[in-house]
Amino acid sequence: DQQVKQNSPSLSVQEGRISILNCDYTNSMFDYFLWYKKYPAEGPTFLISISSIKDKNEDGRFTVFLNKSAKHLSLHIVPSQPGDSAVYFCAARAQLGLSFGAGTTVTVRA
Q: Would the CA dihedral through 9, 10, 16, 17 be positive or negative?
A: negative
Residue 75 neighbours by CB distance under 10 Å: 23
Residue 96 in the binding site for other proteins (CB under 8 A) = yes
Residue 34 in the binding site for other proteins (CB under 8 A) = yes
Residue 90 neighbours by CB distance under 10 Å: 26
Residue 32 in the binding site for other proteins (CB under 8 A) = yes
Q: Would the CA dihedral through 67, 70, 72, 75 be positive or negative?
A: negative
| Binding-site size, other proteins (CB under 8 A) | 21
Residue 20 in the binding site for other proteins (CB under 8 A) = no
Nearer to other proteins, 49 or 79 (CB): 49
Shortest separation between residue 72's beta carbon and other proteins, angstroms: 17
Q: How far apart are CA 39 and CA 54, in angstroms?
A: 29
Shortest separation between residue 106's beta carbon and other proteins, angstroms: 15
Q: How far apart are CA 73 and CA 78, in angstroms?
A: 16
Nearer to other proteins, 63 or 103 (CB): 103
Residue 44 in the binding site for other proteins (CB under 8 A) = yes
Q: Which residue ranges make up the site for other proteins (CB under 8 A)?
A: 6, 32, 34, 36, 41-46, 49, 89, 93, 96-103
